[in-house]
Amino acid sequence: MTYSLEPAYLVQNDLTRLITKAGTNPINKWFFADGCFSAEAEIERSPNTWNRENYVVIADREIIAYFESNWSKPLNIISNFRLILFNKRKSCVACKAVFEYFEYLFVSRGCKAFNWFVAEKNIHAHKIYEKFIKKYFGHLVGKRHYGQMAYNGEISDIYLYEATCEEYFEWKEQVN
């Protein structure tokens, strides 16, 4: 299946509806780190890649996933990353797009490190990230207590992860 990784602002209205719908689904209660969301404010209105980057994965004319990265430009690192999958039947396609995104960040943009976190109570996502770092690249940085609140007010500890450019290039060399 073919897909494209596109700037989110190109499909802002459709994406806003999808994020709003996904945000009200209890499965996604841990997607928004501050316990709430404003879908329209989340999407860059212009192709500004200085502080934030928002991308969508489109397959068969459908938005199947959304990526959001926050840059810390002085350090040239991604200080926070979020991903939401809208169509779980197309998760393999979204996974391919994630690897394309890593290539873009580490090769094209010269990113030094990529950081993300997951709520301990978001068991499914936490297991996916643990499997990812064991199979591909990255590492667990640590655990922060009381680090995230779901939109229903539930508090969870969070696990902090990081992937460095050195880890990425070492992994890439091994698979080639």
Q: Is 38 a residue whose pLDDT tops 90? A: no
Give the strand pairing for 77-85 and 155-164: unpaired
Per-residue pLDDT, averaged over 36-65, amounts to 74
Q: How confident is the model at residue 73 (pLDDT cuts 50, 70, 90)?
A: confident
Q: How confident is the model at residue 45 (pLDDT cuts 50, 70, 90)?
A: low
Q: How confident is the model at residue 19 (pLDDT cuts 50, 70, 90)?
A: confident
- If one compares 27 and 166, the residue with the highest pLDDT of the two is 166
Per-residue pLDDT, averaged over 19-34, amounts to 77
Q: What percent of the chain has pLDDT over 70?
A: 89
At residue 169, the pLDDT reads 98
Q: Is 36 a residue whose pLDDT tops 80? A: no
- If one compares 29 and 135, the residue with the highest pLDDT of the two is 135
At residue 33, the pLDDT reads 61
82: left (phi over 0), alpha (psi -120 to 50) or beta: beta
Q: What is the pTM of this model?
A: 0.86
At residue 146, the pLDDT reads 94
